[in-house]
Amino acid sequence: MKALSDFLDMGGYAGYLWPSYILTFVVVVLNVVWARRLLGRSREEARRRLATRAATEAGAAPTRAGEAT
């Protein structure tokens, strides 16, 4: 227990050290999450684009609003 509290205290620098490590960890994780989400969205968007084009090519009415048939 003593060893753990000593470790967490970091020789009195805990108040500076742990926020730094937590921030860095958060930035690393957010970078991964944001990048993956961005890729997911781009794939979804590309899929929708292809579906719209396939529908148009098949002779269906254009799906974009305001477009003349």
Partner 1 sequence: MAWTWFHRLGSPPYIYSLAARLTPWFAWPAALLMLAGLIDGLVLSPPDYQQGDGFRMMYVHVPTAYMSIMIYTTMAISAAVGLIWRIKVAHAVAASCAPIGASITLCALVTGSLWGAPMWGTYWEWDPRLTSELILLFLYLGYMGLRSATEDVQRADRISAVLAVVGVVNVPIIHFSVVWWNSLHQAPSLMRLGKPTIAVSMLIPLLLMLLAFTLFFVAVLLVRLRAEILSRERSASWIREVVTP
Using CB under 8 A as the binding rule, whether residue 63 contacts partner 1 is answered as no
Q: Compute the Cα dihedral for 49, 55, 57, 62 and give only its sign.
A: negative
Question: Residues 4, 5, 19, 65: which binds partner 1 (CB under 8 A)?
Answer: 19
Question: Residues 1, 4, 39, 60: which binds partner 1 (CB under 8 A)?
Answer: 39
Using CB under 8 A as the binding rule, whether residue 49 contacts partner 1 is answered as yes
Using CB under 8 A as the binding rule, whether residue 50 contacts partner 1 is answered as yes
Q: How far out from the chain centre does Cα 46 lie?
A: 17
Whether 31 and 38 have beta carbons less than 8 Å apart is answered as: no
